[in-house]
Amino acid sequence: MPEEPLFQRLCIIGPGLVGSSILRVAQERGDIARTLVATARSEHTLERVRALGIADVVEADAAKAVEGCDGVILCVPVGAYAGVMAHIAPHLAPGCILSDVGSTKGSVLRDLTPLLPPGVHLIPAHPMAGTEHSGPDAGFAELFKGRWCIITPPPGADPAAVEKVRALWERAGSMIETMDAATHDKVVAIVSHLPHLIAFTICGTADDLAQETREAVLRFAASGFRDFTRIAASDVDMWRDIFLNNREAVLEMLARLTEDAQAFGRAIRWGEAGFIEDRIRRGQKIRRSLIEMKQA
């Protein structure tokens, strides 16, 4: 016998890659929400959600969309949170659980907490899953399967609300970790934000080369460069907001990387083979660890 749905009425604000994937897995399983609501600013996005049939209710006005919902998930770029929250806050029902999928968490608490109505439970979350594609057509129900979702409940969060958000992501196929917002932001700065910064920079450097050299770079691109271009093809608005809203952690990790890269450069300059070999072996060790943890 199927389990009772976690939510009676769940609203997804921003049904892009992640938001539409939540809708798809919820629709497929049937035990996440009884009624699925989707809302977006773009009429094109709303039309695609209707055409795909991945929501029971499609509403242009986010304030109207959240009315009567016992669950609301923000799936928009983190830089838009404050504006969206100001619009929907007066319409959130007491007892509603407000969550999100943003890649920064300190900024989520900063932007949402002051506007949180009494009786509404804020339980931020971050599914560590994605592709370089965006929009409602890019989503798929298996996106979260076997991937981590980090939940960052603020101090004093309602335990029942935390458990319900945990259950949602478990039913979506995710593995769950709980940590505070500051720790989360440092962790993702090194494992996600810094690699994207590097990818954007390398592709920018390639694009700035003289035309003849640039064409050769693209024609003879090896797998390493192709991997960087896949990462660099990510959504512009989302990554702009991530860098600006996780500024301190990203800059801290970038400073550490810069020091390590300069040390590697000195080793190359002075022929320090032992240093170079050590760095390569450490990379191999990290790769083996990822494979053993089934995160490769």
Do residues 187 and 174 both lie within one domain?
A: no
Please identify, among 140, 163, 179, the residue that sits at the C-terminal boundary of a domain. 179
Question: Do 137 and 151 lie in a common domain?
Answer: yes
Average pLDDT over residues 146-152: 95
Taking residue 3's Cβ as centre, other Cβ atoms within 10 Å add up to 11
- On whether both 201 and 271 belong to a single domain, the answer is yes
Report the C-alpha gap between 20 and 23 in whole angstroms: 5
pLDDT number for residue 134? 86
* 189-224: pLDDT as tens digits: 999 999 999 999 988 988 888 777 877 877 777 777
Q: What's the structural domain count of the chain?
A: 2
* Nearest-angstrom CA–CA distance, 101 and 151: 10
Say whether both 110 and 125 belong to one domain: yes
Q: Say what the pLDDT of residue 201 is.
A: 93
Number of alpha helices (DSSP H) and beta strands (DSSP E) in the chain? 13, 9
pLDDT band at 296 (very low <50, low <70, confident <90, very high): low
CA distance 143 to 127: 10
Residue 37 lies in a domain: yes
Contact (Cβ atoms closer than 8 angstroms) between residue 177 and residue 151: yes
For the chain, what is the mean pLDDT? 93
Domain boundary among 146, 179, 212: 179
Domain hosting 216: range is: 183-292
User: First and final CA of the chain: distance in angstroms?
Assistant: 35
Residues 151 and 190 grouped into a single domain: no
Taking the mean position of all CA atoms in its chain, how far away is CA 193?
Answer: 10
Mind listing the pLDDT tens digit for each residue in 250-277? Answer: 999 999 999 999 999 999 999 999 999 9
Which CATH number fits the domain that encloses residue 127?
3.40.50.720
What is the CB neighbour count within 10 angstroms for residue 84? Answer: 24
pTM given for the model: 0.88
CATH number at residue 198: 1.10.3660.10
- Domain membership flag for residue 98: yes
* pLDDT at residue 140, rounded to an integer: 94
Residue 161 has pLDDT above 90, yes or no: yes
Residue 152 lies in a domain: yes
